[in-house]
Amino acid sequence: MRAGQELERRGEALAAALFEDQGWTVLDRNWRAGHAELDLGVRRGRVVAFVEVKTRTGEGCGDPLESITPRKRREVERVARAWLRIRGEELQDRCTFRFDAVAVILAPNAPSDLRHGPDAWCAGDSG
């Protein structure tokens, strides 16, 4: 695994642990539809969140959440629709769905910094 992929996986694991600590159940990690990927699918009660995780080693290139472009949002929305067709059909009438984002900073010699943005965007608002 290349260093960038290892960094991404570490950030996703920390984000999954953050959700679990808050009482969410992780439904899926790294679920793929074609070349696109859903980082996390989580559920708590009647809410299902499709989560995009952005991990960096610092903020030298800006806030990690700024890299969730309209194009990336549309990709996550497309993967979420595929996930619902294949894995979440029974949830569609019982749950509400949203798109969350988590920024993870894994700076050397510093504690991990995680910031969760619930309801980071609405489907169709991706420009």
Within-domain flag for 113: no
Question: What percentage of the chain has pLDDT greater than the value 70?
Answer: 95
CATH of the domain at 44: 3.40.1350.10
Q: What is the pLDDT of residue 92?
A: 82
pLDDT of 84 higher than 70: yes
- The pTM score is 0.91
Within-domain flag for 95: yes
Within-domain flag for 26: yes
Confidence of residue 59 (pLDDT cuts 50, 70, 90): low
Confidence of residue 114 (pLDDT cuts 50, 70, 90): very high
pLDDT of 127 higher than 60: no
Strands of the sheet with 25-33, listed across from one edge: 25-33, 36-44, 47-56, 96-105, 113-121
Within-domain flag for 127: no
Within-domain flag for 91: yes
Residues spanned by the domain of 42: 3-108
Within-domain flag for 64: yes
Domain count, the chain: 1
Within-domain flag for 54: yes
What are the tens digits of pLDDT across the range 10-39? 999 999 999 999 999 999 999 999 999 999
Within-domain flag for 119: no
